[in-house]
C-alpha cells in the first residue's frame, strides 16, 4: 500500500498520523508511507523520529483579516497544490489521509483533483475548518468523539473510530500505584494530583499552582509538568517566596514527564488543558479531571472537548478567565474528599473512550480502497 499522510503543527495532529502509519506498517509491512508537513511544526521532530519520510510544503491557515501578508500566504498555499499534484503523480499513492489542520488544504485539493481516495481524521469534538471544508469531498471522515458527528452534517460518510494514542489503561492495583508514587518520592496514602498543560506548559495553570504552593496548605501531592519553556520562569517566581523548586514538600515540578503512561495511571486527579489528545488519554485511563480550556484555541474547540467529559459527570471545567488558586484548590478538594465520587468520575470517563481505535481506522482505510 502506498500512503500519503498530511499531518502538521501540533502533536494533536501529528501523533494520530504516526499511529495510523504504524498500524498500516504492522498490517502491511511493505507499505510505503510519506508524510506531508511544513518547516514550522513539531512534525520536523516527531515524523523523522518515528522513522518516516517528511516532505515539506508551504501551507497556512485561513486568516479572516485582509492583509498583504494573508494574501501572500494564500498564494503560497495554492502554489503548494501544484507541488502536491506533481508528487502524487510520481508516487502514485493508493490513498491520502489528513489529520486536520491547514496542511490538509493543498494536499486534499491535489488528491481530489487526481481522483485519489481520501480520508480525514478529526480528533476534536468541534471539527476544524479543514475537516468541515473537505468533508463533502473525501470518501470518509473519521472522528474521535461522537459529539463531532452532528457538526459535520455534509459528510458523505462519517465513522466514530476514536483517536489513536500511545497511552494505555494499565489497570494497576493499589499496591502497584503506591509503588510508583513512592518511586517518585511521594507518600502512598495522600492523593496525587497530576498537572499537565500540554508539551509547552500553560501559563495560567502555572500561576494558579504557584498561588496554591505559596499558601503552604496542601493536603494532597502534586506532580507538575510545567513545560520546558516555563520551568525556569516558575523556578524564579518561587524564589521570590523563598521556595526552592527542588525542595517543596508534597510537590514535584519537572519541565516534562517522559513516563506519562505510568504516572497518569497512578494519579488520583488530573488538572489539564483540554486538547483532543489529553481528553482521549484521560478517558482511556479513566481519571477524574479538572479542565482549564485554552481560550485562544481555534473555534474554542478545547472547551467543546472538555464538555464531552463534563456532560457525563467525569470532569469539572474552570474557564481560563476564572482560574484562581482558590477555586482550583477547592475543586481538587471537592473531588479527593469523596473517594466514591472520585471512582465514579473515573468510571464515567472510560465510558466515552473507544477501544481498538487503530484497528477500526485500518478497517475504514481498507473499505475505502475496496
Give the model confidence (pLDDT) of 77-127 as tens digits: 889 999 999 999 999 999 999 999 999 999 999 999 999 999 999 999 999
pLDDT value at 200 more than 70 = no
Q: Which domain, by its residues, includes 238?
A: 174-351
* Residue 65 and residue 35 share a domain: yes
CATH number of residue 193's parent domain: 3.40.50.2000
* Residue 360 and residue 310 share a domain: no
Please state the pTM of the whole predicted model: 0.88
Residue with cell 492495583: 173
* Residue 43 and residue 129 share a domain: yes
278-290 burial, b for 16+ CB within 10 Å, e for fewer? Answer: bbbbbbbbbbbbb
Q: Is 223 among the domain residues?
A: yes
Burial grade of 2 (CB within 10 A; 0-12, 13-18, 19 or more):
middle
* Residue 205 and residue 101 share a domain: no
Q: Is 243 among the domain residues?
A: yes
Residue with cell 482549564: 292
* Residue 133 and residue 63 share a domain: yes
pLDDT value at 61 more than 80 = no
pLDDT band for 201, please (50, 70, 90 cuts).
low
3-state secondary structure of 279: helix
- CA distance linking residue 42 with residue 64, whole number of Å: 25
Burial grade of 78 (CB within 10 A; 0-12, 13-18, 19 or more):
middle
* Residue 179 and residue 156 share a domain: no
Q: Give the cell for residue 365.
A: 482505510
* Residue 262 and residue 317 share a domain: yes
What is the number of structural domains in the chain?
A: 2
Calculate ∠ Cα 94-97-101, nearest 5°.
155
- CA distance linking residue 320 with residue 124, whole number of Å: 19
3-state secondary structure of 155: coil
Residue 56: phi and psi, rounded to 5, are -100, 140
Q: Is 152 among the domain residues?
A: yes
* Residue 290 and residue 202 share a domain: yes
Amino acid at each position: 500500500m502506498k500512503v500519503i499522510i498530511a499531518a502538521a503543527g501540533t502533536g494533536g495532529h501529528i501523533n494520530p498520523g504516526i499511529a495510523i502509519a504504524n498500524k498500516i506498517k504492522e498490517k502491511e509491512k511493505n507499505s510505503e508511507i510519506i508524510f506531508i508537513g511544513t518547516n514550522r511544526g513539531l512534525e520536523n521532530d516527531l515524523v523523522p523520529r518515528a522513522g518516516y519520510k517528511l516532505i515539506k510544503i508551504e501551507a497556512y491557515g485561513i486568516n479572516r483579516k485582509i492583509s498583504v501578508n494573508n494574501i501572500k500566504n494564500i498564494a503560497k498555499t495554492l502554489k503548494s497544490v501544484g507541488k502536491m499534484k506533481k508528487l502524487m503523480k510520481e508516487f502514485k499513492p493508493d490513498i491520502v489521509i489528513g489529520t486536520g489542520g491547514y496542511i490538509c488544504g493543498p494536499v486534499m485539493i491535489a488528491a481530489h483533483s487526481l481522483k485519489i481516495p481520501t480520508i480525514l481524521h478529526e480528533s476534536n469534538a468541534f471539527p476544524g475548518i479543514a475537516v468541515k471544508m473537505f468533508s463533502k469531498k473525501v470518501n470518509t471522515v473519521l472522528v474521535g468523539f461522537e459529539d463531532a458527528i452532528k457538526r459535520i452534517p455534509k459528510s458523505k460518510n462519517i465513522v466514530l473510530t476514536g483517536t489513536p494514542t500511545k497511552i494505555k489503561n494499565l489497570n494497576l492495583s493499589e499496591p502497584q500505584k503506591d509503588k510508583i508514587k513512592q518511586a517518585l518520592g511521594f507518600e502512598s496514602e495522600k492523593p496525587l494530583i497530576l498537572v499537565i498543560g500540554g508539551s509547552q506548559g500553560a501559563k495560567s495553570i502555572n500561576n494558579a499552582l504557584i498561588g496554591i504552593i505559596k499558601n503552604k496548605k496542601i493536603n494532597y501531592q502534586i506532580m507538575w509538568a510545567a513545560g520546558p519553556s516555563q520551568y525556569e520562569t516558575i523556578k524564579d517566581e518561587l524564589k521570590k517566596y523563598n521556595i526552592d523548586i527542588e525542595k517543596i514538600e508534597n510537590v514535584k515540578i519537572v519541565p516534562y514527564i517522559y513516563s506519562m503512561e505510568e504516572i497518569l495511571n497512578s494519579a488520583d486527579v488530573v488538572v489539564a488543558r483540554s486538547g483532543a489528545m489529553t481528553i482521549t488519554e484521560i478517558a482511556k485511563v479513566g481519571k477524574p479531571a479538572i479542565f482549564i480550556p485554552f481560550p485562544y484555541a481555534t473555534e474554542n474547540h478545547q472547551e467543546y472537548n472538555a464538555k464531552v467529559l463534563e456532560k457525563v459527570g467525569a470532569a469539572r471545567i474552570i474557564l481560563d478567565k476564572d482560574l484562581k488558586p482558590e477555586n482550583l484548590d477547592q475543586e481538587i478538594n471537592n473531588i479527593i474528599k469523596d473517594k466514591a465520587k472520585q471512582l465514579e468520575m473515573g468510571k464515567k470517563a472510560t465510558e466515552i473512550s473507544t477501544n481498538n481505535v487503530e484497528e477500526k481506522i485500518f478497517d475504514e482505510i481498507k473499505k475505502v480502497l475496496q
